[in-house]
């Protein structure tokens, strides 16, 4: 810590930071309950003001009035591609194509199958998928499901404290699957460096952007990534369970074969042909009919993200996560909080996580007192910082509430001890 | 045709039939544009009155106000199971489980993979999936995608005029995949008889209910079906692209392994375990995070369908489709319309289709004049009869408009000749 870090931070300092914040006005684009400090946008983004209006237009005018004609007149057919193209811009994907469809898990299956097929033709001896033990579990489950289905000796090799990535990338590796920002710790991979290293080892690279897109600048083309997937309901504020995206580098599009080959991915879906013929380009990664209301709302959140320079957003995100860490250092040092998020800004995403032995109860007490973060096994308190709508005073209030919960042992109340389902 | 069929049907007769219709009041549960005869509910169901209210509640109160807590407090976790259980009742699925999730195409992939695996363990020599050449193409595409991915000699055998189903069901058949009601002709399979025949041949049976559920009584348990899938946006009026369902007979649930094994299908999703462990029962057919707004709206349509005795609904549906056919016989016999829907009510679903050499232009002219059916290659005019909201006068008006379009050759206008995307 430098001397500057030791200067006590005051509430007035945070208020001044908000006043100076060039992005502060974006908060007005969201409807958040009065008085709530919402630090869980990394799990479910907040509601943009335009979301209800968009949904109502789809339900009343498009579905209700124009009915089936809306597939053409309201461009329902184009939605996955139109919103996908916007996300493609957000993630710096100019050297590839992007569509919005289905879920992150399903999209992972599509691109992993495509990647394994490409490798199988070029280097059939490569039968290993490398990922992290600490990756978001559903990513690992989908790999497991595909490997089991294929039943051709594919195996998952997990990087952990005993096996660094550099050692895991042997010549038997077909695909490296990494999540850009770790869901628990908030640790950020250097996408360009890891992609380069994997390519040098002969592996294709698939990035899961769920915890970075919308909060951390992503440059998939610059990093030369092969495939990317991600969700739209976290930092992109698309609404609960809004459809996910999939991006594929142009060099793979002609060869990419994905097995979930439904009508929407057909070259001529309305010819009603018996045989499947994949659409050219990224469109072949579409499968079945999409949930139009949820899909249309996604665009509202994506448009908001596109309206901001992502470097300015990153600057604010880092200022906020740094502020959080410093306040905890300065004001909560006497408590048993262990920071598990990298202090190095180059290695940090947009949330801050601490372990605390009573993490579950502490988070319940925080939530009951208007500070919404979340809890993740084991013992982890997560505080998500969505720079679009979180301010410096929010961070101050969150840390002060945490201090009170710990100082006064508010978390000991029985109602905070009961375990329920956790999101 | 009997003598009765020759008695000229009048507009007054249709008005009287509406007046006597015990289900006529259900029309009030839907918001349809004034003056429109909507006969495309077999492609996109109409908007129930409660849909916008439900969506607004999810967007404003659940997402907007309660945010992440809604996963528990508003039962988002339970939605796929709760709505699935209701659909399970609708399809007579008491001997199995049902969940709502993803798309019909994706769900087909899940259950077909599970079925092939079950067969592979019991009878590995069975490597054929039998379906119909006239099946809805995306079903065939999904089979093709899975067979290609597996690359273990699976092949698709298509029943057509040269190959009847009885001959196709040889001892090499693993799975029979049929769509209960054909999307183009409206022909209805006898589910119990075909399932029995396929079981006798050693095949498992997977039924696609997209064009029957909500309009034709379905009894999957009684028919002893193995698997069923279907959509909710046609006769169930769930909204554009509302999520699909999947039903699995209880005898397969313990053994069923589906490869799209995402977090929502895990036995303990919040333990964040590295390895996948399938949830017991039908829940293992869930995969990733679902589009909650579209999903929640689905329930409004499903509840409406559940509020009606499906035998009464069937009676009305048959009365309407029969009326359509008789009116065409009586009033349009001088035109080149070829009925392709079975006249036998036992073999008829809930839509009526005719071929006409100028089918495309004729349908465009009908739509422009307030009668919305749809067009399907080749030359097919489809008129969907959703008995929940279509009445006898609607059918009269539709046939009269069709007569006018043909008598006056309205379809010759250039604006009806231009081909656009077709839904």
Contact between chains at B266 and A141 (C-beta distance less than 8 A): yes
What pLDDT is stored for residue A418 in this prediction? 82
Distance between CA atoms of residues B11 and A32, nearest Å: 56
Is a pLDDT exceeding 90 seen at residue A5? no
pLDDT of residue B423 exceeding 60, the answer is no
What's the pLDDT score for residue A6? Answer: 74
Measured distance CA(B241)–CA(A75) in Å, rounded: 14
**pLDDT at residue B291 in the model:** 98
Structure confidence at residue B156 (pLDDT): 98
B156, two tokens: 């698709």
Instruction: Report the pLDDT value the prediction gives residue A2, as an integer from 0 to 100.
Output: 52
The tens digit of pLDDT for each residue in B26-65 reads: 999 999 999 999 999 999 999 999 999 999 999 999 999 9
Q: Of B354, B367, B390, B376, which Cα lies nearest the Cα of B423?
A: B376
What's the mean pLDDT in B140-162?
A: 97
pLDDT-derived band at B6, boundaries 50, 70, 90 = confident
Distance CA B191, CA B197 (A): 10
Confidence of residue A423 (pLDDT cuts 50, 70, 90): very low
- CA pair distance B80, B87, nearest whole angstrom: 10
Question: Do residue A133 and residue B274 have CB atoms under 8 angstroms apart?
Answer: yes
Of A25-29, A158-162, A171-175, A416-420, which gets the smallest average pLDDT? Answer: A416-420
Q: Are A10 and A327 in contact (CB under 8 A)?
A: no
Cis bond upstream, residue A378 (ω within 30): yes
Q: Is A268 on the interface with B (CB under 8 A)?
A: no
Q: Which of A210, A232, A264, A289 to mutate to test the interface with B (most CBs of B within 10 A)?
A: A289
Q: Is the pLDDT of residue B5 over 90?
A: no
Residue B204 pairs with which residues in a beta bridge? B175
pLDDT tens column, B222-250 = 999 999 999 999 999 999 999 999 999 99
Is residue A154 annotated as part of the catalytic site, yes or no?
no
Instruction: Give mean pLDDT, residues B119-141.
Output: 97
Of A105, A106, A372, Cβ closest to residue B68: A372
Q: Do B145 and A261 touch (CB under 8 A)?
A: yes
- Inform me whether the C-beta atom of residue A58 falls under 8 Å from chain B C-beta atoms: yes
Q: Best interface-test mutation with B: which of A79, A238, A272, A379 has the largest number of B CBs within 10 A? A: A272
The percent of residues above 70 in pLDDT, for chain B, comes to 98
Cα separation, A328 vs B303, whole angstroms: 50
**C-alpha angle A128-A132-A133 in degrees, rounded to nearest 5:** 110
| Residue percentage of chain A with pLDDT more than 90 | 96
B294 is in an annotated binding site: no
Dihedral sign (CA A212, A218, A220, A224): negative
The partner residue sitting opposite A68, judged by closest CB among B33, B43, B260, is: B43
Q: Is A38 a catalytic residue?
A: no
Distance between B110 CA and the closest CA of chain A, angstroms: 10
Residues of chain B positioned with their CB less than 8 A from the CB of A40 = 67-68
B420 pLDDT above the threshold of 80: no
Average pLDDT, chain A: 96
In DSSP notation, A199-245 reads: HHTT-EEEEE-TTTTTTS---TTTTT-SEEEE-SSSTT---TT---E
Instruction: In whole angstroms, give the CA distance from residue A150 to residue A14.
Output: 55
**pLDDT digits over A208-241, tens only?**
999 999 999 999 999 999 999 999 999 999 999 9
Instruction: State the DSSP code for A384.
Output: E
B420 at interface of A, judged by CB pairs closer than 8 A = yes
**Per-residue burial over A321-346, b = 16 or more CB atoms within 10 Å of its CB, e = otherwise:** bbbbbbbbbebbeeeebebbbbeeee
Residues of B annotated as part of the active site? 136, 208, 233-234, 382
The reported pLDDT for the residue numbered A419 is: 78
* pLDDT exceeds cutoff 50 at A342: yes
d(CA B361, CA B379): 10
The DSSP symbol for A188 reads B
Catalytic residue from among A21, A208, A226, A394: A208
Crossing angle of helices B292-306 and A292-306, in 10° steps, is 160
Query: Which residues of B are less than 8 Å from A148 in CB distance?
Result: 257, 259
Which of A72, A266, A293 comes nearest B239 by C-beta? Answer: A293
According to the model, what pLDDT value does residue B4 have?
59
A382 in active site? yes
Predicted confidence (pLDDT) at residue B364 exceeds the cutoff of 90: yes
**Residue pLDDT, tens place only, A48-95:** 999 999 999 999 999 999 999 999 999 999 999 999 999 999 999 999
Is A105 annotated to bind a ligand? Reply is yes
A44 with B51: Cβ contact below 8 A = no
Residue B1's pLDDT band, with cuts at 50, 70 and 90, is: very low
Question: What does the pLDDT look like over A136-189, one tens digit per residue?
Answer: 999 999 999 999 999 999 999 999 999 999 999 999 999 999 999 999 999 999
**pLDDT value of residue A420:** 63
Rounded average pLDDT over B282-301 = 98
- Whether residue A376 lies within 8 A of chain B, CB to CB, comes out as yes
Q: What is the mean pLDDT of chain B?
A: 96
Determine the average pLDDT of the residues in B210-221. Answer: 98
Tens-digit pLDDT profile for residues A234-285 = 999 999 999 999 999 999 999 999 999 999 999 999 889 999 999 999 999 9
Q: Is B42 on the interface with A (CB under 8 A)?
A: no
Phi, psi (rounded to 5 degrees) for A124: -60, -15
pLDDT at B95 over 50: yes
- The pLDDT score that the predictor gives to residue A377 is 87
Check the annotation: does A298 bind a ligand.
no
Q: Does B59 touch chain A (CB under 8 A)?
A: yes
ipTM of the complex: 0.96
């Amino acid at each position: 810590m430098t001397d500057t870090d030791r200067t006590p931070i005051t509430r007035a300092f945070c208020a001044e930071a908000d006043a100076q914040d060039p992005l502060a006005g974006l908060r007005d684009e969201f409807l958040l309950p009065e008085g709530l400090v919402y630090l869980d946008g990394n799990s479910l983004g907040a509601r943009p003001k335009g979301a209800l209006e968009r949904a109502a237009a789809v339900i009343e005018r498009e579905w209700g009035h124009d009915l089936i004609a809306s597939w053409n007149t309201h461009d329902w057919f184009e939605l996955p591609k139109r919103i996908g193209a916007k996300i493609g811009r957000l993630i710096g994907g100019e050297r590839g194509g992007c569509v919005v469809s289905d879920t992150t898990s399903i999209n992972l299956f599509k691109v992993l199958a495509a990647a394994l097929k490409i490798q199988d033709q070029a280097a059939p001896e490569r039968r290993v998928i490398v990922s992290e033990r600490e990756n978001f579990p559903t990513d690992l489950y989908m790999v497991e499901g595909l490997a089991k289905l294929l039943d051709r000796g594919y195996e998952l090799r997990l990087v952990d404290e005993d096996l660094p990535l550099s050692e895991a990338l042997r010549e038997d590796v077909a695909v490296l699957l990494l999540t850009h920002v770790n869901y628990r710790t908030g640790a950020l991979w250097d996408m360009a460096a890891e992609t380069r290293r994997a390519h040098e080892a002969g592996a294709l690279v698939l990035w899961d952007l769920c915890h970075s897109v919308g909060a951390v600048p992503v440059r998939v083309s610059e990093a030369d990534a092969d495939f990317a997937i991600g969700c739209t309901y976290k930092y992109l504020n698309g609404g609960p369970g809004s459809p996910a995206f999939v991006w594929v580098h142009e060099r793979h599009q002609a060869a990419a074969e994905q097995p979930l080959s439904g009508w929407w991915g057909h070259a001529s879906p309305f010819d009603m042909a018996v045989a499947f013929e994949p659409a050219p380009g990224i469109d072949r990664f579409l499968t079945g009919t999409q949930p139009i209301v949820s899909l249309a709302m996604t665009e509202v959140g994506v448009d908001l993200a596109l309206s901001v320079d992502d470097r300015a957003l990153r600057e604010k995100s880092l200022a906020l996560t740094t502020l959080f860490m410093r306040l905890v250092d300065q004001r909560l040092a006497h408590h048993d909080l262990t920071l598990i998020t990298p202090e190095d800004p180059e290695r940090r995403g947009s949330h801050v996580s601490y372990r605390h032995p009573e993490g579950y109860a502490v988070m319940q007490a925080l939530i009951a007192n208007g500070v919404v973060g979340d809890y993740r096994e084991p013992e982890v308190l997560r505080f998500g910082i969505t720079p679009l709508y979180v301010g410096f005073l929010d961070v101050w209030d969150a840390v002060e509430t945490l201090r009170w919960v710990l100082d006064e042992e508010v978390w000991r109340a029985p109602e905070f001890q009961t375990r329920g389902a956790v999101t």
